[in-house]
Structures are given as C-alpha cells and as structure tokens.
Structure 1
Amino acid sequence: MEQLNFTTNASNISSTLDDPLSASWDSSGLVPGVVLSLCFLLGVPGNIAVIVFLGRNRQQLSSLSRSLMLNLAVSDLLCLITLPLWIYALLYNWTLDLVACKVLAYLIYCSIYGSLLTVTALSIQRYLQVVYMQIWLGQAGQRGILVLLWVIVMILSIPALVVRQLVKDENWISCQAQYSSHAQHVALLLTETLLLFVLPFSIMVFAYIRLHKRVNGTAFFNNPRMTRLVTGIIVTFFLLWMPYHMFNVLAVAAILLRNEVLLKFCMEHQSTVGALTFVNSCLDPLLYAFASRKACTTCRNA
C-alpha cells in the first residue's frame, strides 16, 4: 500500500491565499460549529462569573484553592474567547495567515493543558487538605506552583507551533496539523492521549478514591450532594474527553496498519469529537467552585 500523504504543497497554499474567498460554506462544520457556539455563549460568562465569585469570597476558600481555581477559570476563558475564529474557519474558510494559525493553535493547547494540569493539581490539593487538614504554603510557594505549572504548559504545547500548517483542499484553506512522517504523527497522538487524558484521569481517580477511603466516615463524604459532585467531576471529564482520545487511538491504529479509509474516517470526525472537549471548559470552573464552597464547611482552611 502507498504511504499516507501528510505533506502539504506550499506553493498551492500561497497562491490560494491571494484568491477571493469562496461564497460557499461547509455544512460538515455545522455540528461542531453549533457545539462551539454554545460553549462560547455559556462558558465565557460562566468563567467570568467564577472569577468574580472567587474575588468576592476570599474567606470561604484556602488561599491555594482559590489560586488554583482562578487559574482554572482563566485557562478556560483563554480557550473559549478564541472560539469565534475557529467557528468561522469551520463553516467558511481560514482567512488569517500561517503565523496566526500557529499562534492561535498554540494558545488553544496552552489553555487546554493549563486547565487539565490545574484540575489535576486541585485533585491532589483537595486530598492533602482534607486528609492532612492543612497545607502550609506562603504566597511565594503558591506563585512558584503556578509559574511551574505554566512553564510545563508552554513546553508541552510547543508541538502545536511545529505541526500546524495552512492546508489547501480545492478552494478551501484550513489550519490543520501536518506531520512530516508516520513516526511523528503516531508519537504526537500517543503523547497527547497520555498527557491530556490517561495521566490526569488516573491521578484524579486515585486522589478521590484515596480521599474516600481516608475520610469516608466524615461529613465530607456523608453529604450525598458532595458525593454526587465529586463523582460528576470525574465522570464529566471522562465522558467529554474519551471520544476525542478514542479517535486518536484509532488514528494511530490506522497509521500503523496503513489503513487510509480508517484514517480518513478519523480525520473527518475529529472536529466533532474535538468540539465536545470544549464543553469541559464550561463546566470545570463551576463544578470546582461549587465543590470547594461545600467542602470548606467540613475542612479547615489552609
């Protein structure tokens, strides 16, 4: 079987950039466009409301909890405010240049990694706070945690700068990932699935299971609402991210098996399953803000 073609003809792209935009629109982008539009309309004011709430209720949360949840809300807000550009690109065409394509993709990955690492840190922090009652970290220590978190985020997001390219398909231009080889494609897909799903989900589940075992007899988990909420946090993360990473694994299988039909299927549905992950950016801050507000009545502030 012939090798799968992951390269792009740069001369075709550059010549098309000077052509007038087509008046038609792509109906295949309608479903992800609607999902992303709802995420933008609900998530942007929702995250702003969480930031305002946390600013006005400093005394109800530990300093570290508030810092992490503010970081989570800012990360998700950063992700969501770019959605109008991606929605337009899905339905019509990519109208910006290659630099904008790379920078916006990098920004999206930074915000997603920032959100996931913050959620993971919150899971660990909640376990330590409830089990050991206090975490003594000064302002310098908390700033150090956030700085380290964002340094890791910026490093992990570098592949978006490398692989994003402008791709021409007839009269259509899109900002997509283009890979130099099968090995690079497989490596980046597996790394993304490991760092964006397997590792954070495993840590969250471990932290909450250990928390449940250690404090099962306290009011923290005797409260049915809190139990449902903690379960909802994990289940929501799993349900919204699982389809995207299932398609990642299928794409890896398609590349290794040189199955062009399966790979084409994965690429055609990537926008739809990818749009679902942005719903998490609407729900995360609200879930964690509510959880911490309830939790603070049963555990001592750090």
Structure 2
Amino acid sequence: MSTANATIMSNIGGAIAGAAILGLVFLLGVPGNVFIIWSILARARQRSVTTLLILNLAIADGFLMLLTPFFIVYLAKRSWIFNQALCKVLFYLCCANMYASVLLIMLMSLHRLVAIVWPKRVAALMDHKALTRVLVGLWVLALGLSVPVLVYRKVTTTGNGTTTGNGTTTGNGTEPQSFLCGCEHPQPQYVVMQYCMETVLAFLLPYGVIIGSYMCILRRIRKTRFRRRIRSEKLILAIIVTFGLFWLPYHIINMVQVAATFYPKDSPGKKRLDKIWTSLRALTSTVAFVSSCINPVLYTFAAKSYIRREGLGFMARLFEGTALESSRKGRRSNQNSRDRDKETDEGESLKDKDSDSITTPNASSIIKVVLQKNGK
C-alpha cells in the first residue's frame, strides 16, 4: 500500500489540480452553506420536512468545507505534515459526511414519495419529534459505517533517501521522503470489505431507493390531474443528479481497486489496475468534495425569482415556498383521490339504478302473469 500511496502523491499535476479545486470549493462552500443555515434558522418562518433535511445537509457540507484547508496543504506539499490522530479523524469525518449526505437525499426522495403516493400518511411525517429521532439515527448510522477509516488510516513514509531538516533527502538518485495518510489493509479481503461497503451502502443502495421513489412519483403524477412541475421537485432532483455525478468517479475507482485485489500479486492485470486507481484516487476524491459546495449554487438558481424582491431573505422565501408547495400538493392529491372515490361511488350508484330499472319491470310482469293465472 505504501507504493500505491507514493504513486498517488507523486502525481504532481493531479496534486496541483486537486489543491486548486479544493481552494475553489472552500471559497464557495463555506459562505454558501453558512448562508443556507442562517436563512433557515433566522429567516424562514415555516420549516417543512424538506427544509429540515436541507438544513442538515447544509450543516454536514459546511462542516466538511471547514476541513478542506488541511487537504489543500496535503496536496500542495504532497506530504502529510500533521499527526496520525488528525489523519484518522479528518478522513473519518469526510467518510461520515459521504454517508450522511446520501442518506439525507434518500430521505428527501422518500418523503416526496409518501407526500404524493400516500398523502394521507404525510401528517405522520410532519411530526418534528419523529423527524428528529430519524435524523439522530441517520447520523449515528453514518458515524458507525465510517469506523473502518479510523481503523485502517495510518501515516506512512515513502522515499529511500536520507531526510534533511527541511523534509527533503540528499544523495544521488534517491527519492525525497514524504508522509502519506492512507489506508493500510493487512489483508486484501479488508480492501474488498471497506470499499465494497462504501460503494454499496453509500451509492448503489440509496440511489436504487431514490430512482425507485422517483419512478413511483412520476407514475403517480401521470395518473392524477395534478401534472404541473413543482419548484421543490426540480430542486431535489437537481441535488440528486449533481451528487451522483460528482461521487460516481470515486466509487468507480473503489471498484477498480477492489478488482485489483483478485489478481495475482505480480500479474500484468493487477499492475494495470493498480496504476489506474493510484493515479486517479486523489483526483476523484477531490472531485467528490465539489458536491458539498454545489448545493448553495443550485438553491440560488432555484430562488432567482425571489432575489430582487426579497433581498437577503430570498433563500428563506424559497424554503417557505417548498413548504407551501408540499402542503398544496398533499391537499390536491387528497382532493384527487376523493374525486376518484366520488366518481367511483357515482358510477356504482348509477349501475344500481340501472339494475333497479331493469329488474322492476320484470317483477311487475311476473306479478301480472300470476294474477292472470289466478283469474283475479
């Protein structure tokens, strides 16, 4: 693993590009997510379930953005200059953010599903105490699933030269010594366990739930009279798509690294796959950070109609609008279901009347026949 990590950090172009991307992410993400948190807590008068989920997502992303300076220094110096405790804790928090973010987005999708397909049950989801318990459980789950990072992250050294006082080495043909914060797995099966767990539980499984939810939502909308596109629906869909696009390369590299463990140690296939994941691991991890700063940009585009009228309160008006749209959507879905039930009842009553009109003459004719036979 040390050789692989040395290859990652020896990619000068990737390290410089990653540091530049993280610098931009920090400049956009910190003020953007802080503004979202302030808008919801200080300016929003109505806090829907979607708004509270967005608040938790902004808290997770904003906290992650505060950690980016450590990773900027890491990429710029191509050496971990901090201690091992920070190596474990910082990457552990990054992994927890990954799990929490995708689980929060999954909850948004499930809430929209219930609000549209089962509108009568949405009142149970509006209970803030129940939502608080769900959110606490979500954060505990995210922190628990990230434990392998605490176990396997370690600071290792690379380079075989003699270290001088400024961190470089002397001697002919020797490689400068550097410190790397990477995962050190004692056995290949631990590589498979950690990265398969990340890809399945933080990407494939939640995205399967998200896609299934939106397929049900679209099918339901087509069956009802309420076909107008809703701003909050578009906003959540944009969050889902951007999160997937920025995290997909990271999980692809996870699977490349897992595939490399199934090859014999010195086989050409293993060398080829190791070269792929070691050269792209740093870049794909950096790109994944972008997902945490892009949401405020999406919110701003969604709320552009409020900016001129509301000033700094435009974001709060957006979130209040999503709350109103959710309630209207629930009422309209209920009305649609009531209308369908009413139409069904009217249809059944008409059938009953028709059957009565058919059976009544038959009954009277039978009575007449009996009377004629009796001669009365």
Same structural fold, with TM-score higher than 0.5 when normalized by the shorter chain: yes
Counterpart pick for 1:84 among 63, 69, 81: 69
Question: Partner letter of residue 323 of structure 2?
Answer: C
Which residue number in structure 1 is paired with residue 261 of structure 2?
255
2:252 aligned with 1:246, yes or no? yes
Query: Secondary structure in 1 aligned to 2:327?
Result: coil
Question: Partner letter of residue 299 of structure 1?
Answer: S
Which residue number in structure 1 is paired with residue 289 of structure 2?
278
Counterpart pick for 1:152 among 141, 153, 156: 141
Map Cα deviations across residues 219-251 of structure 1 (whole Å, 9 max, x no partner): 875228666545433322222111111111111
Unaligned 5+ runs, structure 1: 1-5, 9-23
2:270 aligned with 1:264, yes or no? no
The 2-side partners of 1:224 and 1:141 are apart by 26
Q: Which stretch has the larger CA shift, 190-199 or 254-263?
A: 254-263
Counterpart pick for 1:73 among 58, 67, 83: 58
TM-score (norm 1): 0.83
2:222 aligned with 1:236, yes or no? no
Question: Partner letter of residue 57 of structure 2?
Answer: L
The 2-side partners of 1:226 and 1:154 are apart by 29
2:204 aligned with 1:195, yes or no? no
User: Offset of 1:288 from its aligned partner?
Assistant: 6.7
Question: Partner letter of residue 115 of structure 2?
Answer: Q
Map Cα deviations across residues 38-85 of structure 1 (whole Å, 9 max, x no partner): 1111111111111112124444441x3232211111111111110110
TM-score (norm 2): 0.68
User: Offset of 1:119 from its aligned partner?
Assistant: 1.1
- Map 1:1-302; keep pairs closer than 5 Å: 6=1, 26-62=12-48, 64-92=49-77, 93-133=79-119, 134-136=122-124, 137-170=126-159, 171-216=177-222, 222-223=228-229, 229-258=235-264, 259-284=270-295, 287=298, 290=302, 295-300=322-327
In structure 2, the CA distance between the partners of 1:55 and 1:217, relative to structure 1 (3 Å rule), is farther
User: Offset of 1:203 from its aligned partner?
Assistant: 1.3
Residues 220, 298 of structure 1: 8 Å contact kept? no
Question: Partner letter of residue 164 of structure 1?
Answer: R
User: Offset of 1:116 from its aligned partner?
Assistant: 1.5
Query: Secondary structure in 2 aligned to 1:257?
Result: coil
Question: Partner letter of residue 124 of structure 1?
Answer: L
Return the structure number with greater relative CO, CA threshold 8 A, min gap 6: 1
Question: Partner letter of residue 81 of structure 2?
Answer: T
The 2-side partners of 1:162 and 1:107 are apart by 13
The higher radius of gyration belongs to 2
Q: Which has the higher helix share?
A: 2
User: Offset of 1:28 from its aligned partner?
Assistant: 3.5
Question: Partner letter of residue 84 of structure 1?
Answer: P
Residues 19, 76 of structure 2: 8 Å contact kept? yes
The 2-side partners of 1:221 and 1:101 are apart by 50
Residues 50, 322 of structure 2: 8 Å contact kept? no
Query: Secondary structure in 1 aligned to 2:185?
Result: coil
Residues 229, 287 of structure 1: 8 Å contact kept? yes
User: Offset of 1:295 from its aligned partner?
Assistant: 3.9
Question: Partner letter of residue 237 of structure 1?
Answer: F
User: Offset of 1:299 from its aligned partner?
Assistant: 2.6
The 2-side partners of 1:75 and 1:173 are apart by 28
Query: Secondary structure in 2 aligned to 1:96?
Result: coil
Residues 51, 323 of structure 2: 8 Å contact kept? no
Residues 26, 68 of structure 2: 8 Å contact kept? yes
Please report the RMSD computed on the Cα atoms of aligned residues, expressed in angstroms. 2.7
Which residue number in structure 2 is paired with residue 17 of structure 1?
none
